[in-house]
Amino acid sequence: MAQPPARAKARVSDSRIKAVLGPTNTGKTHLAIERLCAHSSGAIGFPLRLLAREVYDRVCAIKGADRVALITGEERIEPKNARWLLCTAEAMPVHADLAFVALDEAQLGADRERGHIFTDRLLHARGREETMILGSATIEPLVRALIPEAEVVSRPRFSTLRHNGARKLSRIPPRSAIVAFSAEQVYAVAEMLRRFRGGAAVVMGALSPETRNRQVALYQAGEVDYLVATDAIGMGLNLDIDHVAFAGLSKFDGVRRRRLLPTEMAQIAGRAGRHQRDGTFGTLAGTGGHDAEFTAEEVYAIEEHRFAPLTRLFWREAEPRFDSLAVLTADLERRPDRPELAAAPEAIDLAVLKRLAEDPDVAATVRGPAAVRRFWDACSLPDFRQAGVDTHSRFVARLWQDLRGGHLGGDYVAKAIADLDRPIGDIDTLQMRIAAIRSWAYVAQRPDWVLARDEMAARARAAEARLSDALHARLTERFVNRRTTVLMKKLGPDAALLPVTIEDDAVLVDGEPIGHLAGFRFRVDPQARLADRKLLLAAAERHLPEVLNARGAELLARLREDSPPLALDGVRIDWDGEAIARLQPGRSALKPALILDPSLVSLPAALRGDIECALTAWLDASLAALRPLHQLQDACSDPAAGPELRALLIHLVEAGGILAREGSGLDRLDKAQRERLRRLGVTVGALDLFVPAMLKPSALGAWRALQAVRGIQIPAPVPSMPPVVPLSGKALPPPGYRALGRQAIRHDIGEKLLRLAHHTRVVSAGKPFILDPALAVSTGLSTLSYAHLLRLGGFTASVPRPLADGVFGPPQPPRWRWRPSHRAPVGSAKPLPTPAGAFAALADLVR
């Protein structure tokens, strides 16, 4: 085994070495910080960049940022006059001349992947005046064997840790951490907590330190009451956790899936309790047929902090020779010569070295000690992406192509960083980009690798910060329901005590939207789960009446304006798109009953009555176009009209002022009754009886609304009411029109054309006559539709004899006769194919 350098050995006899060992929550890290600040210089090595950053901020507050350095693989803040260094274990200077040196979590020397690093720091990192080793009590026998001169100090836990069994997720108390051992399980638990408890912060090893900090801050600030994490939580994160629930008790350690060791369980469970506040731990029940359970022996070991001591630490030569790749590999694979140490399993850096050394093209470029050392530095690049040996080897080989010739090009590094600097995508995509950018941050920190080191390092840090912000936003968006969180926190015994505000119809509880006002109805946010609805309604119930009263007064004022902003939509009367009243069938077809919407029931009775009166007046004004029908309805009750006329008027009112003449009972009226009908404004046409005032869009729209109240659906009226409109297929004609095959003609225009035809008939003194189709064509009526109308009016055509052979000229037009006794019933004529030419079409109708 390689021995410490002579300078380090000389300092050992002068340095006071103290091993402070004990379980979590014993104040070991706090003691180390106090001792660091008490010396003129010093360094502490931590297992995580996150911890190094946390302590760096604390020491900066004591000593000043210009005298404190942060040194990690991906980030280096090194002021010129820095005297106190906070580092990761890999980045801490082993042989620097410092008054104080400390190593945190020394028991990680037994870790398969990084254990040899901690073992080397345990053996070689020494302070000039004081050295402190922090760790679990399980490492005590090895400390005594490897460093016999060390003073071992045991510290008891400040608080008590107790097991409280298995609990379902719905019964996990607030300020708890749920620990899972896969990303899928972390996401599943966090999603359930979002639904039932308002959300959770998420902490995983795959997150960047910045994102973990933001998520931890979310939990520490109390914005969420739950933390879902992997076993990364067990490594020194100081959080206000009262309870730790294990979602499982086994994990994949890179080689196989195994049950957690009792020491690992204790490291995680020890996060519960802070300073002198006791904590509890247990398991998560109700997850299926594989619910995790602690054994009695494990519970005893965790509660009493009694664990089997470590028997060995992993070791690897920290200062290998660089004569050649073979010599370097041999030194790294050399076995230790002490029984307390074991050869470290093949780590990723050694696996990459051996993989690339087998490539003749790569091996041929590594000649001489300087090249071998530089090549080993490249192979030591951490696999932040967790991509495995093959993928990571290809990445290192690509880097080596540039490094063997000098430095990496600034453009190449800048482009690689820019390609990753895209804060879009889902959680997994952002995590992969952050892992990749951490690799480039590590590369940019090497002054012998990148020419523009400071600029590239700043770009990498900025890109990682943007990606971390985006990832934090995605995690919060997915796993935090702020509305439910606020309700769970602020509800207490009385929902009415919740602070409720209204902004632009949005109802907010303590700033978080829980629903919105639609008209006079409070609508709960559709994203709220069913259990929340009662809470939300209770919270709003005591605060909304005054707002609704003000809104009712506003509605009444608008109703009293000349043009209130209301709309009649079917049977609903809407204000700002929300129903405030409904129409129901009344005593007559022209008098619907107006019923206020139930949402107005919370208004005072007097205000509600005023609104109802104002709505009734508005409705009467909206239906004013139906006044001619009201006159007809009034005439129905006049005994002087006679039963025949009264029956006809009733049918005419029920038909909306337009009634087919056939079967109307008109032929039963005497001359006086016909005159009375005319004075009422009813036009008696050849085909229909109609009130001309009802052939307007406003009148037809009002009539359509009344029909909807009676449950009768009729087509919408044509806004401009042109003389002729097209018809498609079997569609019904719009109200106010008569169907003529593929066209429909307005009733008054059809009557005008028929009267013109009758005038021509009278002038002809009973002889066959010719009709000029010019007027019909000018209205837009086709020849076929015009012929259809004439047939309905009782007109028939006779076909003239065809021209003799050899005679040329236009064909003679058909001659018409009126034969009322043979008139087809109204609507019985069938449309015929369209012939060529107007007169030819008329002739074909009588063939």
pLDDT of residue 528: 60
Rounded to the nearest integer, the mean pLDDT of the chain is: 83
Confidence of residue 7 (pLDDT cuts 50, 70, 90): very low
- Do 177 and 243 form a contact (C-beta atoms < 8 A)? yes
pLDDT at 838 over 80: no
Would you call 343 helix, strand, or coil by DSSP?
strand
Last residue of a domain, one of 475, 497, 522: 475
652, two tokens: 């005419």
Report for 351-355, 539-543, 699-703, 798-802: range of highest mean pLDDT:
351-355
195: in domain: yes
Determine which helix (DSSP H) or strand (DSSP E) holds 258, and give its type and residue range: strand 257-259
Q: Are residues 706 and 788 in the same domain?
A: no
Our count of domains for the chain comes to 7
pLDDT of residue 287: 66
- In percent, the amount of the chain with pLDDT more than 70 equals 89
| More confident call, 504 vs 381 | 381
Q: What is the mean pLDDT of residues 215-230?
A: 87
Report for 9-18, 332-341, 595-604: range of highest mean pLDDT:
332-341
Q: Are residues 14 and 42 in the same domain?
A: yes
pLDDT of residue 533: 59
pLDDT of residue 331: 93
pLDDT of residue 357: 92
730: in domain: no
pLDDT of residue 183: 80
Q: Are residues 614 and 629 in the same domain?
A: no
Q: Are residues 700 and 770 in the same domain?
A: no
Its pTM surpasses 0.95: no
**β-pairing, 250-252 with 201-203?**
unpaired
Runs of H (alpha helix) within 404-543:
410-420, 427-444, 453-479, 482-490, 530-541
Give pLDDT tens digits for 384-397: 888 888 999 999 99
Q: Are residues 144 and 77 in the same domain?
A: yes
Q: What is the mean pLDDT of residues 726-731?
A: 85
Residue 120: which of 145, 98, 92, 139 has the closest Cα? 92
Dist. CA 791–CA 776, nearest whole Å:
14
Q: What is the mean pLDDT of residues 452-479?
A: 86
pLDDT at 159 over 60: yes
Residue 267: which of 158, 138, 87 has the closest Cα? 138
Confidence of residue 64 (pLDDT cuts 50, 70, 90): very high
Runs of H (alpha helix) within 589-738:
605-622, 627-636, 643-654, 671-679, 697-709
595: in domain: yes
Interhelix angle 643-654/671-679, nearest 10 degrees: 40
Q: Residue 412's CB: how many other CB atoms inside 10 A?
A: 13
pLDDT at 9 over 50: no
736: in domain: no
Q: Which of 181-185, 564-568, 837-841 has the lowest mean pLDDT?
A: 837-841
Last residue of a domain, one of 154, 176, 201: 154
Q: Are residues 179 and 128 in the same domain?
A: no
Last residue of a domain, one of 506, 521, 542: 542
Rg (CA), the chain: 46
Q: In what order do the strands lie in the sheet with 572-575?
A: 566-569, 572-575, 578-588, 591-596
pLDDT at 43 over 60: yes
The dihedral region occupied by 769, where left means phi > 0, alpha psi between -120 and 50, and beta the remainder, is beta
- In percent, the amount of the chain with pLDDT more than 90 equals 28
Q: Are residues 595 and 672 in the same domain?
A: no
Determine which helix (DSSP H) or strand (DSSP E) holds 726, and give its type and residue range: strand 724-726
Q: Residue 376's CB: how many other CB atoms inside 10 A?
A: 20
817: in domain: yes
Dist. CA 751–CA 772, nearest whole Å:
16
- Do 665 and 645 form a contact (C-beta atoms < 8 A)? no
Give pLDDT tens digits for 273-324: 876 788 899 998 876 546 678 999 999 998 888 888 999 999 999 999 999 9
731, two tokens: 């569609």
Runs of H (alpha helix) within 253-347:
262-269, 296-304, 325-333
Residue 149: which of 121, 172, 126, 183 has the closest Cα? 126
What single DSSP character describes residue 98? -
Q: Are residues 92 and 135 in the same domain?
A: yes
pLDDT at 122 over 90: yes
325, two tokens: 């790749």
- Please compute, for residue 503, the number of CA atoms within 13 A of its CA located in the half-sphere on the CB side: 9
Q: Which of 130-139, 292-301, 498-507, 565-574 has the lowest mean pLDDT?
A: 498-507
Give pLDDT tens digits for 469-525: 888 888 888 777 665 665 555 544 444 555 667 777 777 765 667 777 777 877 777
Q: What is the mean pLDDT of residues 408-437?
A: 87
Q: Are residues 323 and 470 in the same domain?
A: yes
Domain range holding 110? 6-154
Q: Are residues 640 and 611 in the same domain?
A: no
Confidence of residue 336 (pLDDT cuts 50, 70, 90): very high
pLDDT of residue 765: 81
- Do 718 and 745 form a contact (C-beta atoms < 8 A)? no
Q: Are residues 11 and 71 in the same domain?
A: yes
Give pLDDT tens digits for 534-547: 666 666 666 677 77
Determine which helix (DSSP H) or strand (DSSP E) holds 89, and give its type and residue range: none
423: in domain: yes
Confidence of residue 120 (pLDDT cuts 50, 70, 90): very high
DSSP for 449-470? TBTTHHHHHHHHHHHHHHHHHH
> Which distant-in-sequence residues (6+ apart) come within 8 Å of 166 by Cβ?
282, 283, 284, 285, 291, 292, 293
| More confident call, 164 vs 286 | 164
Q: What is the mean pLDDT of residues 360-372?
A: 91
310: in domain: no
Q: Are residues 191 and 179 in the same domain?
A: yes
Q: Which of 70-74, 814-818, 830-834 has the lowest mean pLDDT?
A: 830-834
653: in domain: yes
Dist. CA 696–CA 708, nearest whole Å:
18
Give pLDDT tens digits for 181-212: 888 888 888 888 887 777 888 888 767 777 88
> Which distant-in-sequence residues (6+ apart) come within 8 Å of 362 by Cβ?
356, 397, 400
pLDDT of residue 829: 41
pLDDT at 255 over 80: no
Dist. CA 71–CA 49, nearest whole Å:
9
The dihedral region occupied by 603, where left means phi > 0, alpha psi between -120 and 50, and beta the remainder, is beta
pLDDT of residue 176: 92
Q: What is the mean pLDDT of residues 772-794?
A: 88
